Amino acid sequence: MVLLKNIHPPTEGVRHEQAATTAVLDGQRLGCGTLYVAETRLSWFDGSGLGFSLEYPSIGLHAISRDVSAYPQEHLYVMVNGKLSGENEAEMAEKGAGDDGNDSGGSSDGDDDDDEGMITEIRFVPTDKTSLESMFSAMCECQALHPDPDDEDSDNDFEGEEYDVEEAGSEHGHADIPTFYTCDEGLSALTQEGQATLERLEGMLAQSVSQQYHMAGVRTEETKAEFEEGMEVDAAAMEAGQFEDADVEH
């Protein structure tokens, strides 16, 4: 048997939980338990404290199998690179000599990249076959949260601005290089204060473009208090010529 002991089911980030699910590991039926598809790892427990968990980077592929000619029951198939590591490895190494059809004892760390083609095949057979789609999709989502860290071919260090900010800066004549957001992303990035400012500015723009020449003396921060009362106040304050006597130079 290759079961970990005293491991508890995950409580956070569980995208899908499927009870009454039998786990079959390399053809060995482990019994009926609950499958937990969590964001951190995939795990299965039989309810009496025995179970195992898999790290997503070690999972090569997963699939929905409804081909009963290949395997008599519809199930979620998971292929793990290497053999299960940790306590399992020690147990398997001990029993390695006596086991049939088991390639144990050959590979060292199950998480290794080059495990010489050793794989572990796991089948999760839920009692409720209609749940297979949800189980599968939940695994897809969680798998995507764990991109391959060893991927040397591509430079994945693309945090930060998406735009060519220098190009955008020269177009708009900005000396600094501000942080731009796309329309859809930017709105959600605004604080409440930001959103209020956005609404106020759009209101001002909507009223009249010509009036902006008379706004030379207006500073955003100073006038904010005035506009807090409502747009009606804004309209009154925006009469043309109100700030004509204000200093233009700052």
Partner 1 sequence: MDPGDPGPCGDAAGSIRERTIAENSLVVLLQGLQGHVTTVELRDESTARGRVLSVDAFMNIRLEDVVFQDRRGRTVHLQQLFVTGRNVRYVHVPDRVDILQTVQNQLARIHRVRNFASHGGGRREFCRNAK
Q: How far apart are the C-alpha atoms of 142 and 147, rounded to whole Å?
A: 10
Query: Near partner 1 by CB under 8 A, which window of 17-25, 26-34, 104-112, 137-145?
Result: 137-145
Compare residues 180 and 214 and give the one whose CB is closer to partner 1: 180
For residue 121, give every residue at least 6 positions away whose Cβ sits within 8 Å of its Cβ, in sequence order, or none.
25, 26, 27, 77, 78, 79, 80
Length of the chain: 250
Could you give the string, one character per residue 10-49, with x where binding to partner 1 holds by CB under 8 A and - elsewhere? ----------------------------------------
For residue 228, give every residue at least 6 positions away whose Cβ sits within 8 Å of its Cβ, in sequence order, or none.
none
Could you give the string, one character per residue 190-219, with x where binding to partner 1 holds by CB under 8 A and - elsewhere? x---x---x--xx-----------------
DSSP string, 135-168: HHHHHHHHHHTS--TT--SS-----S--S-HHHH
Question: Could you tell me if 33 and 45 are in contact, meaning their C-beta atoms sit under 8 angstroms apart?
Answer: yes
Compare residues 199 and 239 and give the one whose CB is closer to partner 1: 199
If one asks whether residue 186 binds partner 1 (CB under 8 A), the answer comes out as yes
Query: Near partner 1 by CB under 8 A, which window of 5-13, 20-28, 183-191, 233-241?
Result: 183-191
C-beta atoms surrounding 18 within 10 Å: 21
For residue 186, give every residue at least 6 positions away whose Cβ sits within 8 Å of its Cβ, in sequence order, or none.
180
Instruction: Single out the residue of 20, 90, 145, 233 in contact with partner 1 (rule: CB under 8 A).
Output: 145
If one asks whether residue 136 binds partner 1 (CB under 8 A), the answer comes out as yes
If one asks whether residue 150 binds partner 1 (CB under 8 A), the answer comes out as yes
* Angle between helices 192-207 and 220-227 in degrees, nearest 10: 90
Instruction: Single out the residue of 100, 152, 166, 184 in contact with partner 1 (rule: CB under 8 A).
Output: 184
Query: Near partner 1 by CB under 8 A, which window of 3-11, 46-54, 103-111, 142-150?
Result: 142-150
Q: Which two tokens stand for residue 205?
A: 């723009």
Question: What amino acid occupies position 167?
Answer: E
If one asks whether residue 163 binds partner 1 (CB under 8 A), the answer comes out as yes
If one asks whether residue 237 binds partner 1 (CB under 8 A), the answer comes out as no
Could you give the string, one character per residue 51-90, with x where binding to partner 1 holds by CB under 8 A and - elsewhere? ------x-xxxxxxxxx--xx-----x---x---------
Question: Could you tell me if 124 and 35 are in contact, meaning their C-beta atoms sit under 8 angstroms apart?
Answer: yes
Give the largest Cα separation in the chain, rounded. 98
Compare residues 97 and 225 and give the one whose CB is closer to partner 1: 225
Q: Which helix (H) or strand (E) holds 133?
A: helix 132-144
| Residues found near partner 1 in the complex (CB under 8 A) | 57, 59-67, 70-71, 77, 81, 117, 119, 133, 136-137, 139-141, 143-145, 147-148, 150-151, 154-156, 158-159, 162-163, 168, 172, 174, 176, 178-186, 190, 194, 198, 201-202, 220
